[in-house]
Amino acid sequence: MTHADAATVAKTDKPSLVSALRAFLPREAVLHHDDELRPYECDGLSAYRAVPLMVVLPETTDQVQRILRLCSERKIPVVARGAGTGLSGGALPLPDGILLSLAKFSRILEIDRVNRTARVQPGVRNLAISQAVASDGLYYAPDPTSQIACSIGGNVAENSGGIHCLKYGLTVHNILRLEVITMDGERATIGADALDSPGYDLLALMTGSEGMLGVIVEVTVKLLPQPETAQLVMAAFDDIEKAGDAVARIIGAGIIPAALEMMDNPAIRAAEEFVHANYPVDAAAILLCELDGTAGEVAEQIQQVEKVLKERGAGEIRKARDEQERIIFWSGRKAAFPAVGRISPDYYCMDGTIPRQRLAEVLKKTAELSEKYKLRVANVFHAGDGNLHPLILYDANNPGELKRAEELGGQILELCVAVGGTITGEHGVGIEKINQMCVQFDEHELTQFHAVKSAFDPDGLLNPGKAVPTLRRCAEFGAMHVHGGKLPHPDIPRF
């Protein structure tokens, strides 16, 4: 069901809904006045806003079950929200729907040091898990840049990555078990405390499903031993292609760095002005290559990496002298987004992934598009795993600029698909990239996605209108794959 369809069903009697919810929720857990609802009108993608019908803040699993059962009966759409840091509008509210905030689910329930797992509520912040187990020499590996703020429930919904996922994987590789409430209010355990569970891999299906299949009320994560040591090398290149080539050579030499990041000149300059990370501001690109492991391993691999960097034409190569300098070098990369925010009134962050060997070509075409749309683009890049974050600089106060930025962004994503990549590596589709889904998938694939959704949520009430476009929407967008010269659904009007 599309969002529009849902809207026609849910001509809701608001006062009756408020009193039905207050029958089992405290007064302060049901927000419905406009001034209370405003703070929830967007997530990390602030260009898209909508005031929800109401916001509910349950504290217990039982309350979540009752909320969903009630909404199921009354056919009211529900959008789940964690910390609201998502960058694709996945938690954008619906004007006719309930926003289900999991902010009060903020407790770490159990740490099993022997099995190296932590059972936590979905509202627990990503970094808080690692902090809670640091004294045991353990940590939770996925480290999205927003880890001080983002919640683990949101990480699961988006299958978040981070700087170290080249070696340690994404959220899907680092969780064991979920407690999920389906739209009809049923509780289901997905995954297990063991490494696998019987039947289909529903854990993988739930991870990255953007709140469309169920509401997560508990997450069991894997904990890893902290590496004995980590060493960071920064290399400057006068040509971005050489930097890309160096990345391929490092991996070709049999080395999997813990992190391998690239920044282009505009990003280097913005970061340097902001945090003074001591970056070479004249470089066309820098690579940040971190190796971790035992002292012996790291010493051995760092030599190999330095050799490769020299061979591939790196100018300056700097090894962090101590932990403090390592943190300073990283600070520039980690602050790249806000740094760009300082030099431009607004910016729009893209998230395409490409096969690395196509990097030079994609950057060149991005530069051409930047020229065409007359908008600056700064590039930060999880180079090791091919995940690009072009940041499009614009000013929302200039009429038409946001629209141009969106168009430019859409073109970049379509370029990623054209070279064999994807429209989103780690930020999710949400509402932002929903049109580009029509470029990446054909009508059969999209129909299969809708069938998966229906298996979990037959009435289409959980986060409707996100992540997977309807065929109608694709037809209107005009980007549906054409098979055998025939347009799918020729009956649908096109603009």
- Map the footprint of other proteins across residues 411-430, applying CB under 8 A: 419-429
Query: Does the protein bind other proteins through residue 449 (CB under 8 A)?
Result: yes
Residue 292 Cβ vs other proteins, minimum distance, rounded to whole Å? 8
441 binds other proteins (CB under 8 A): yes
Among positions 322-361, residues that touch other proteins (CB under 8 A) are: 353-357, 361
Which residue among 186, 311, 316, 323 contacts other proteins (CB under 8 A)?
A: 186
Specify the residue, 149 or 419, whose C-beta has the smaller distance to other proteins: 419
Residue 19: CB partners within 8 Å, gap ≥ 6? none
Q: What are phi and psi of 312, to 5 degrees?
A: -90, 10
What minimum distance in Å lies between the beta carbon of 121 and other proteins?
A: 20
Paired residues of 387 in beta bridges: 353, 382
493 touching other proteins, by CB under 8 A: no
Q: 334, 349, 336: which is closest to 143 by C-alpha?
A: 334
Q: Rule CB under 8 A: is residue 74 a binding residue for other proteins? A: no
- What is the C-alpha separation between 474 and 374, in angstroms, rounded? 28
Which range in 5-13, 252-260, 333-341, 391-399 contacts other proteins by CB under 8 A? 252-260
Residues of this chain, 387-406, that bind other proteins according to CB under 8 A: 387
Site for other proteins in 279-298 (CB under 8 A): 293-297
Q: Minimum Å distance from CB 295 to other proteins?
A: 8
78 binds other proteins (CB under 8 A): no
Task: Kindly state whether residue 161 participates in binding other proteins, applying the rule CB under 8 A.
Answer: yes
Greatest extent of the chain over all pairs of C-alpha atoms, in Å: 71
Among 58, 82, 144, 208, binds other proteins (CB under 8 A): 208
Residues 106-125 that bind other proteins (CB under 8 A): 112-117
**Amino acid sitting at position 343:** I
- For other proteins, give the closer residue by CB, 316 or 323: 323
Question: CA 322, CA 309: separation in Å to the nearest integer?
Answer: 21
Binding string, 212-251, against other proteins, x = CB under 8 A? xx-----------xxxx-------------------xx-x
Task: Confirm or reject binding of residue 189 to other proteins (CB under 8 A).
Answer: yes
Min CB(437)–other proteins separation in Å: 6
Our finding on whether 265 is near other proteins (CB under 8 A) is no
Distances (CA, A) of 452 to 6, 146, 181, 209, 433: 18, 30, 16, 10, 20
Distance (Å, whole) CA 326 – CA 407: 38
User: Measuring CA to CA, which residue among 296, 293, 289 is closest to residue 253?
Assistant: 289
Q: What distance in Å separates the CA atoms of residue 355 and residue 330, rounded to the nearest whole number?
A: 25
Q: Which residues contact residue 269 at a Cβ distance below 8 angstroms, ignoring those fewer than 6 apart? A: 281
Structure tokens belonging to residue 5? 């369809």
Residues 6 or more apart in contact with residue 54 via CB below 8 angstroms: 14, 17, 18, 21, 30, 31, 32, 37, 98, 99
Given the rule CB under 8 A, which of 103-111, 123-131, 179-187, 471-479 is the region that contacts other proteins? 179-187
Contacting residue, 36, 454, 472, 482, with other proteins by CB under 8 A: 454
